[in-house]
Structure 1
Amino acid sequence: MHGNRRATPGVFTVRFASCALLATATLLTGCERGSSRGPQESTTGPSGCPAAHARAETAVARAEKTDVSWDGPASGPPAASRKTIVYVAQTMTNPGVAGAAKGVREAARVIGWNVRVIDGGGSPAGIQAAMSDAVALKPSGIVIGGFDPNSTSRQVTRANEERIPLVGWHAVAEPGPSRRPELFTNVTTRVEDVAAISAQWIISRSNGRAGVVLITDSSIPFARNKSELIRTALATCRGVRLLAYENIPIPDASSRTPREISSLLARFGNRWTHSVAINDLYFADAAPAFRAAGENGSGPPFNIGAGDGDPSAFQRINSRQYQAATVPEPLSLQGWQIVDELNRAFSGRPASGYVAPVHIATADNSAGVTAWDPSGYREGYREIWGK
């Protein structure tokens, strides 16, 4: 049934044009926006959005460029010696969290520090226990890997009192230093940029005519904020309809995503043309359900991950298997940046203020690689540290 859908743009045009004719005479039933268990979708129509589409095409073309050099800090303190840092992970099953941890380990070997990773296992109790263990070790610094510091406020307060610098990765909504909670800095791309470009990719790819499913994890403030920004950006195009807003906690993704995908296919059928998720891992878990329903791996629906760009996401994209694009975090670069930011904290220097630019990876521009990082960051940081 759904396996007979075609990706031809003209088919979408005819379908939406037919809905537009019906809308002038009566209330739609066959082209109505789907119900959602999440927030109410913005009112949209079937006619596309020429101005928003033109802006989207320009932004997407810029983000898909691959000849991007690192434009991070040119100076900083030399490497501090004999430091031990603890990376507290929300869950190491989250590819973004694990990818940033890998970058931290690599950079620590270069700068000459010891690293310990403590896995919170994705549960509030596990994350609190991991943070308690981290503070008890009295390390030189702690990395908050992908969870809300406010969920461990007691442990964060203890670290602040003991003058242990805290650096976040996707810990709060904005990059840079944070006062409440008190973090030396937070390493991330700008969530506004990631949200906007993922929505613009859908607008550009669909010619301003799409039926979209948005998948998030509302238990994580960073992820919830990102999905709300995506929803707002999609609403700038009146021809884009938000069919469903699905809340699937990341720790439950492997068990819940296949069931939800099957249900969504039954509910929306051909109206579902595109998907966007706050993390690529949802599409790994969605693939079996798409395959079982006879969906073509190359779409529709055309799926884009608004983070994190882990190797499995690139593999799905390059093989055209149920994911068409990702907005990858430069995970290795960010691991190196975390180490550099801690080095600045140890030296009494301010945070660097560096924020990596957004990028879109597709099968056409990834050249078969399984990660995205601007070139030159390793050499740049080595020069700063004197390594």
Structure 2
Amino acid sequence: MYPNRKTALRAAALLAAAVAVIGGCQRGVTTGERSPSTGPSSPGCPTTLARAKAAVQQAENTNARWNGPTSGPTAVSGKTVVYVAQTMTNPGVAGVTNGVAEATKVIGWNTRVIDGQGTPAGLQAALSEAVALRPSGIVIGGFDPDLTSRQVAQADAAHIPLIGWHAVEAPGPSRRPKLFSNITSKVQDVAKASADWIIARSDGDAGVVVFTDASIPFARSKSELITRELTTCSGVQLLAYENIPIPDAGSRTPQEVSSLLSRFSNTWTYSVAINDLYFADAAPALRAAGKQGDAAPFNIGAGDGDPSAFQRINSGQFQAATVPEPLTEQGWQIIDEFNRAFSAKPATGYTAPVHIATAANSHGTTTWDPAGYREAYRRIWGR
């Protein structure tokens, strides 16, 4: 537990506490009572607030041009790719499969999806099955390859290239674990954008709850970076850090939200989660407590921007924003990276620029699908 404070927490102290929480807490951690608000006309972090507002304005732009690869090897033929999913209940993991399926159809390959069911045993069995199929390539879809180290070694011994999606923190090739490439937005950019949105929208005065799944290194790192960025504004207070594994989110999130409401009431004004699905599960508890869908706590997902998240945002139902991954685009990139692997060419290491979606800029759409990539990859592949 954080000790109770009656004055505003200094950024350094909050950072130290946040890092300690991330290292060991398995439930929620409170920072105690919030300090008196400085008010929107007198924010406690004017320099940080100005920077955050400028960054958010740029990230909300929807007219950015394609800045990804425009050259590479033409399509090889006769390939099969197996996508091993962490769990198909994770909307981001499931969303990428749509892009993979779409791209493999264009390039002329076959694809298959195996659901790991969100457990170490399930993932090991799924990856074992994938290796036994002897496909041309395997996707590590949203889980830590260290959980399946034996199967990863088997794939390597069989000369089956592995490409990750959110498998490790950094984009691009990985030596340990051995991945031809890892497809993801830069976690630092996503974390910063979500935290900056809270700072900017609250005018530097917020009580925040963070939801994460600490069993996934990528997610754990993201939530740590979010808390660090929040501490750059002295008017923002971390109320609780909720570690809820994604496979358990449906059952645990409503209970945790009810507990948070009883502990913090109106002091809880903002939430950020490493995945949008937490807010789908939080909605019934918030609604039962008499909360309005378009009122506090204002919720932002730091990934992945699945259709249900956009629906909640567009209808003002317990989610105000998301930092979406371009899921379909990333599915196409996975296939392009495999084509480079099969052609003995290096990975691109491309990462999509960060974007923030709200009701104001989504224009009723249910996905972040930037323009230009389909045409670019078709030209590269000769399709």
State, as a whole percentage, how many aligned pairs show the same letter: 69
- Runs of 4+ aligned structure 1 residues displaced above 3 Å come to 35-47
Q: How does 1:299-338 map to 2 (within 5 A)?
A: 299-338=295-334
2:217 paired residue among 218, 221, 224: 221
How far the C-alpha of 1:41 sits from its partner, in A, is: 5.8
Q: Deviations over 1:27-80 (max 9, x none)?
A: xxxxxx9x9845686999654211110110000000000112211111000001
User: Structure 1 residue 97 and structure 2 residue 81: aligned?
Assistant: no
Unmatched 5+ stretches in structure 1: 1-19, 25-32
Output the aligned Cα RMSD: 2.0
Matched residue, 2:103: 107
Q: How does 1:239-318 map to 2 (within 5 A)?
A: 239-318=235-314
Q: Deviations over 1:265-292 (max 9, x none)?
A: 1100110000000000000001111111
Q: How does 1:58-97 map to 2 (within 5 A)?
A: 58-97=54-93
Code of the aligned partner of 1:288 = P
Give the match's secondary structure for 2:174. coil
Give the match's secondary structure for 1:364. helix
Matched residue, 2:373: 377
Give the match's secondary structure for 1:177. strand
How far the C-alpha of 1:373 sits from its partner, in A, is: 2.0
For 1:344 and 1:177, how far apart are their aligned partners in 2? 12
Code of the aligned partner of 1:284 = A
Note closer, same or farther for the CA distance 1:176–1:42 as it changes in structure 2 (3 Å cut): farther
8 Å CA contact retained: 2:270, 2:299: yes
For 1:208 and 1:82, how far apart are their aligned partners in 2? 55
Code of the aligned partner of 1:129 = A
Q: How does 1:1-387 map to 2 (within 5 A)?
A: 23=7, 37=27, 46-47=37-38, 48-387=44-383
Q: Deviations over 1:231-257 (max 9, x none)?
A: 101011100000000001100000000
For 1:52 and 1:381, how far apart are their aligned partners in 2? 39
Code of the aligned partner of 1:257 = T
For 1:385 and 1:213, how far apart are their aligned partners in 2? 45
Note closer, same or farther for the CA distance 1:373–1:41 as it changes in structure 2 (3 Å cut): farther
Note closer, same or farther for the CA distance 1:63–1:196 as it changes in structure 2 (3 Å cut): same
8 Å CA contact retained: 1:102, 1:332: yes
For 1:307 and 1:170, how far apart are their aligned partners in 2? 11
For 1:211 and 1:40, how far apart are their aligned partners in 2? 11
Q: Deviations over 1:139-177 (max 9, x none)?
A: 000000000001000010111111111000000000000
8 Å CA contact retained: 2:30, 2:239: no
For 1:353 and 1:166, how far apart are their aligned partners in 2? 14
Note closer, same or farther for the CA distance 1:337–1:44 as it changes in structure 2 (3 Å cut): farther
For 1:43 and 1:386, how far apart are their aligned partners in 2? 61
Give the match's secondary structure for 2:197. helix
Code of the aligned partner of 2:376 = G
8 Å CA contact retained: 1:144, 1:169: yes
8 Å CA contact retained: 2:323, 2:354: yes
Unmatched 5+ stretches in structure 2: 9-16, 39-43
TM-score, normalising length from structure 1? Answer: 0.90
For 1:267 and 1:287, how far apart are their aligned partners in 2? 18
Aligned length in residues? 359
For 1:281 and 1:358, how far apart are their aligned partners in 2? 19
Give the match's secondary structure for 1:365. helix
8 Å CA contact retained: 2:144, 2:217: yes
